[in-house]
């Protein structure tokens, strides 16, 4: 199978995009997705997305984690998918697409930044020193005093594989408050099973529970290792979050062609397993 791919990144979170509107890539296997996402033997990415047609909306986004399995909603991935359409010359005031957690809207502003509307959040559960909330993907948010001294990989892995979360998995976000409207966020991401330079659903979750809790419009700026994102939302009196928008840059890294042959993939995986970590 010959594939034509586009690699995009949003604040360091990078993705392979395959335009599947003609169903050319609908038969991709788990091994093929893992191969493409491998930074040693493939293209290299945090995940892969198929851009499909949808009978009711403009498009459908199907997201695969780096481990090859179909994943939940990816905020930065959704923003990159919209920037791909914009760069292809498909200009809309509002883009509408279907993802694993339902309908999303997005827009590209005059500076080329992508604003993606996330799902509403009806509840943020506070438990001891952390919060749990679903922003399209389950997220665990823990506040720390010094983010740079936090062992994100080891502590994130411990929480993600704890008895409470091992089966379904959860993103683990460590957050340091910088001021009333700014936070710093580092995320251990399930599926990736390591620290991501940025995580859109994680930043969204962190921003919601970091807000100064003024009813009405709120905006929180999040500094990640991959760059800056902002989250705009409306807080209702009953502590529900509505009109949530994840905003930030998304850019083309490169594009190309690649041949996917199962025997070639098997050979490279075998070599890699004996020589390098993939």
Is residue 215, in this structure, part of any structural domain at all? yes
- Asked if residue 101 is part of any domain, the answer here is yes
Residue 37 bears catalytic tag: no
CA distance 113 to 119: 19
Would 35 be classed as within a structural domain? Answer: yes
Domain annotation covers residue 231: yes
Domain co-membership, 74 together with 168: no
Same domain, 74 and 105: yes
Averaged pLDDT, 193-207: 97
Quick check: is 199 catalytic? yes
Q: Does 278 have pLDDT greater than 50?
A: no
Per-residue tokens: 83: 């920037």
The verdict on 131 and 243 lying in the same domain is yes
| pTM of the predicted model as reported, rounded to 2 decimal places | 0.93
Q: Which tens digit of pLDDT belongs to each residue from 33-52?
A: 999 999 988 999 999 999 99
Same domain, 45 and 103: yes
- For the cut 70, the answer to whether the pLDDT of residue 78 exceeds it is yes
Domain carrying residue 106: 2-113+252-275
Q: What is the CATH number of the domain that holds 236?
A: 3.10.310.10
Domain count, the chain: 2
In this structure, the number of other CB atoms found within 10 A of the CB of residue 94 comes to: 10
Domain presence at residue 120: no
Is residue 8 a contact partner of residue 252, using CB atoms and an 8 Å limit? yes
Task: Map residue 230 onto helix, strand or coil.
Answer: strand
> At a CB cut-off of 8 Å and minimum separation 6, what does 40 contact?
272, 276, 277, 278
Whether 238 and 258 map to the same domain: the answer is no
DSSP 149: G
- 119 in a structural domain: no
If asked whether residues 84 and 143 sit together in one domain, one would say no
């Amino acid at each position: 199978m010959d594939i034509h791919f586009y690699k995009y990144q949003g604040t360091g979170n990078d993705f392979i995009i395959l335009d599947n509107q003609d169903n050319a890539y609908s038969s991709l296997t788990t091994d093929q997705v893992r191969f493409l996402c491998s930074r040693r033997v493939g293209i290299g990415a945090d995940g892969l997305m198929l851009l499909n047609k949808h009978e009711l909306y403009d498009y459908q986004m199907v997201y695969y984690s780096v481990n090859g399995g179909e994943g939940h909603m990816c905020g930065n991935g959704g923003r990159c998918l919209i920037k791909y359409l914009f760069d292809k010359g498909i200009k809309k005031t509002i883009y509408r697409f279907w993802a694993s957690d339902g309908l999303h809207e997005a827009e590209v502003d005059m500076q080329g930044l992508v604003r993606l509307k996330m799902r509403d959040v009806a509840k943020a559960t506070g438990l001891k020193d952390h919060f749990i909330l679903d922003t399209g993907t389950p997220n665990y948010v823990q506040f720390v005093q010094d983010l740079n001294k936090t062992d994100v990989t080891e502590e994130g892995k411990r929480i993600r594989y704890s008895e409470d979360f091992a089966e379904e998995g959860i993103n683990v976000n460590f957050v340091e408050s910088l001021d009333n409207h700014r936070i710093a966020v580092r995320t251990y991401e399930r599926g990736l099973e390591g620290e991501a330079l940025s995580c859109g659903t994680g930043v969204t979750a962190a921003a919601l529970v970091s807000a100064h809790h003024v009813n009405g419009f709120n905006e929180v700026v999040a500094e990640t290792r991959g760059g800056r994102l902002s989250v705009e939302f409306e807080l209702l009196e009953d502590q529900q979050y509505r009109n949530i928008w994840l905003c930030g840059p998304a850019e083309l890294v490169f594009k190309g062609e690649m041949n996917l042959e199962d025997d070639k993939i098997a050979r490279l995986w075998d070599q890699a397993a004996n020589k390098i970590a993939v």
